[in-house]
Amino acid sequence: MQRYKRFLADIDNGLTIHCPNTGAMAGMREPGSLIGYQPTSGGKTAGRWVLIETSQGLACVDSAAANQWVRQSIAQWQPEYQWQAEVKLGDRRIDFRGQAATPFWIEVKGVTWALGDGQGAFPDAKSVRAREHLNVLSERVKAGERAAILYVIMHNGIDRVRAATEIDPEYAQVLDRAIQQGIEVWQWPTELSWSGVEMGAPERLA
């Protein structure tokens, strides 16, 4: 398996598949790894890459899956809100807004970088966009609304998430400042298998 041009990957059976992950994919490109993909027909590639078996456990490659999982489960987690996805806020879009007496804004971040001993970190590459989301959400907190960063764990080798200070120290600084301003930080554990995903119970980190 070899990834190239960001969105393409050649696998050992000779097929080229779509790679739906623009990140560094640290630890998820080990040669000879067993992968899972959704076959497609009529397109430029033979399928969409979804899973990979890493040395630390099964991981989901598809970045969009985190939002899909949350969309299916958020009403059970926070039933007092009416949820809407992809809501424009200034010149950004926030993944979810819960409508109630006090709005609740949630930005989802999928976490796949497993560091060992159950620890995971975000981001796995410098992310100006992730910092901007924190700043936008901080403004909502200042306005008296509720806002959170939700780290969705997409790797069976991860139990707890932290900011990747070694990759993007500026993100870690902005996150610390956002927490001081009142942003909530949550992680959503999952259990991946070749047949699907089981969502755990969201856990508040800060």
pLDDT tens digits for range 42-55? 778 888 889 999 99
Are 186 and 180 spatial neighbours (Cβ–Cβ below 8 Å)? Answer: no
CA–CA separation, 64 and 119 (whole Å): 22
0.85 exceeded by the pTM?
Answer: yes
pLDDT for the residue numbered 54 = 95
Q: Which of 46-55, 60-69, 94-103, 120-129 has the lowest mean pLDDT?
A: 46-55
In the chain, the domains with their CATH numbers are: 2-60 (2.40.50.580), 65-204 (3.40.1350.60)
pLDDT given at position 1: 58
Interhelix angle 169-181/128-142, rounded to 10 degrees, is 10
- Grade residue 2 by pLDDT with cuts at 50, 70 and 90: low
